[in-house]
Amino acid sequence: MTAPLLRLDHVTKTFGPVTVIDDVSVDVLPGRVQVLLGENGAGKSTLIKMMSGIYQPDGGRILIDGNETHLPTVKAAEAHGVATIHQELNLVPQLSVAENIMLGRTPQKLGLVDRSSLRRHASAALERIGLRVPLDRPVGTLGVAKQQLVEIAKALSQQARILILDEPTAALTGTEIDQLFSVVEDLRADQVGMVFISHHLDEIARIGDTVTVLRDGQFVQEVPADTPENELIRLMVGRDIEDQFPRRAPEQPGDVLLSVEGLSSEGHFEDVSFEVRAGEVLGIAGLVGAGRTEVLRAVFGADRYDRGTVAVAGDQLPPGDVGAAIEAGLGLVPEDRKAQGLVLEHSVQDNTGLATFRRHARAGLVDRAGEKRRADDVTSRLNVRMAGLGQPIRNLSGGNQQKVVFGRWVLADTRILLLDEPTRGVDVGAKVEIYELINAITDNGGAVLMVSSELPEALGMSDRLLVMSAGRATGVLESNTASEDDVMALAVSNIEPAQTISSEGEAA
């Protein structure tokens, strides 16, 4: 076995009274992909922050090429060849691809930017990972996936030997993930050592070599990457999870609750029609940029549309009117929880009551006692784990934050719940709880419309699956008989080369 490029040797990290990492060791070997696996709060980010010089361990050592090394700053870590690709990309959107790659070391001649040298270096960096994008294009106009690859190119052009990939696939579609992984394969051949964090267990088997499982800041076990998913989940959660997708459809769907007819919005989607019945989950699948989120938002009244109708139990909704939609029993759990779903600095109670404090008010005054009682009730029913209702929601885990957004709509007596990527950034254990919430809604005669980019989830948690491609609905599948290939075939059926580019632009 080759010597590790980097080794965290029995490291410990505490913040005040809380020990977030307790005696953990991780090796990064050349040409190998080391996966860090654990639920949110297990300590994965703390470990990679130690590797990249953001945190310093309180106990234990960091060894680079076998020598004990201190990494007091990010710069120091970079000098040793450690580069991190974060979830939040570190690019300047207005600058060109070439300028971004060479950012901070722009070649100069007599105080002026040496453009030809800049282009030469940048183009060599792109060449190395086989990425073909125009050098002069502003990075912000590229899709997230391309941006990520640009960032990797940038890291490698700075002689990175250890590449930390922090949830790189979170915002990518299937083909984009394929492209990323083929780059990872190339880097493996180049003897680059990699650390990979992902919530997608299937990706671990595809790309990883060994998996370090963490739970509550402690090392659980190191296992090969081809360990069965159920076993990985068991190690991570500390107990068995029997069914990843516990969908429980009622015997007989009820009346049509939501019907959408010929919905069109210039440049986003065209002539989309569907119905959702009481007790039913209708999934919407498709590639990023297919118009799924846009349809959901239009149905909810968050965005206007050009043509078509949205009706709830036969009554047509006015377009672009969120208030009317909520009144009619709709609720939206948006895609980006932090940017669109929550008031992060405010308390759990305030966030829970956000959609209902108006309707329970008397003479314009907030019913404060009632707010507390209702929030108390719904958070305990949905099993939200928190220090108290007054705690800022920012401090809750992703899964618990999501449960609060669900709780908001439970309080609003929502009959038709629109879910946009409902389990994004949610731990495996909490995911199942959210699935059970979906079941509870349909059990009570509600209807759910769910957009999901995770095909197993889209198929596993819906009863029927509407597939969209480049703004059009290309088919509806029965979820329990359809395969992922069936979905993908419909998802690409309306795509022409020109459209991929434009949809990519929108996604960014």
Partner 1 sequence: MTATAQTTSPTRRSTLSKVGHWAMNNGALVGLILLCIGLFIATPAFLTIPNIINIGIQAAVVAILAFGMTFVIVTAGIDLSVGSVAALGAMVSAYSFASLNLPGILTVVVGLGVGMLAGSISGLAIAYGKLPAFIATLAMMSIARGLTLVVSNGTPIDTSDTVNIFGSRVAGIPVPIFAMVLAGVVCWFILSRTVLGRSMYAVGGNIEAARLSGIPVKRVLVWVYALSGLFAGLAGLVLAGRLRSAGPQAGSGYELDAIAAVVIGGASLAGGSGRATGTLIGAILLAVIRNGLNILNVSSFWQQVVIGCVIALAVGFDVFRRKTDS
Which string of b and e fits 151-190 if b means at least 16 CB within 10 Å?
bbbbbbbbebbbbbbbbbbbbbbbebbebbbebbeebbee
Say whether residue 329 binds partner 1 (CB under 8 A). no
Residue nearer to partner 1 on the CB measure, 273 or 395: 395
Residues 342-371 contacting partner 1, CB under 8 A:
342-346, 350, 354-355, 357-358, 361, 364-366, 368
Residue nearer to partner 1 on the CB measure, 217 or 334: 334
Contacts of 500-507 spanning 24+ positions with Cβ under 8 A: 503/287, 503/288, 503/289, 503/290, 503/470, 504/142, 504/143, 504/146, 504/289, 505/141, 505/143, 506/289, 507/143, 507/144, 507/288, 507/289
- Closest separation between CB of residue 355 and partner 1, Å? 4
Residue nearer to partner 1 on the CB measure, 113 or 366: 366
Question: Interacting stretch for partner 1, rule CB under 8 A, among 105-113, 159-167, 331-339, 427-435?
Answer: 331-339
Say whether residue 280 binds partner 1 (CB under 8 A). no
* Contact residue for partner 1 among 53, 253, 308, 341 (CB under 8 A): 341
Q: Which of 455, 398, 393, 462 is nearest to 428 (CA)?
A: 398
Which string of b and e fits 346-355 if b means at least 16 CB within 10 Å?
ebbbbbbbbb
* d(C-alpha 98, C-alpha 465), whole Å: 41
Which residue is listed with tokens 């009346």?
255
H helix or E strand, kind and range, residue 476: strand 472-478
Question: Interacting stretch for partner 1, rule CB under 8 A, among 191-199, 206-214, 241-249, 341-349?
Answer: 341-349
Residues 404-463 contacting partner 1, CB under 8 A:
408
Say whether residue 300 binds partner 1 (CB under 8 A). yes
- Closest separation between CB of residue 182 and partner 1, Å? 36
- Closest separation between CB of residue 419 and partner 1, Å? 13
Neighbouring CB atoms inside 10 A of 215's CB total 18
Say whether residue 332 binds partner 1 (CB under 8 A). yes
Strands (E), 201-329: 210-215, 218-224, 256-265, 269-277, 281-285, 307-312, 315-316
Structure-token pair, residue 217: 């800041």
Which residue is listed with tokens 């990883």?
208
Residues 395-414 contacting partner 1, CB under 8 A:
395, 408
How many residues line the site for partner 1 (CB under 8 A)? 30
Say whether residue 54 binds partner 1 (CB under 8 A). no
Question: Interacting stretch for partner 1, rule CB under 8 A, among 54-62, 214-222, 223-231, 340-348?
Answer: 340-348
Question: Interacting stretch for partner 1, rule CB under 8 A, among 38-46, 140-148, 274-282, 337-345?
Answer: 337-345
* d(C-alpha 239, C-alpha 98), whole Å: 48
- Closest separation between CB of residue 24 and partner 1, Å? 25
Say whether residue 322 binds partner 1 (CB under 8 A). yes
Contacts with partner 1, residue ranges (CB under 8 A): 300, 302, 322-323, 325-327, 332, 334, 339-346, 350, 354-355, 357-358, 361, 364-366, 368, 394-395, 408
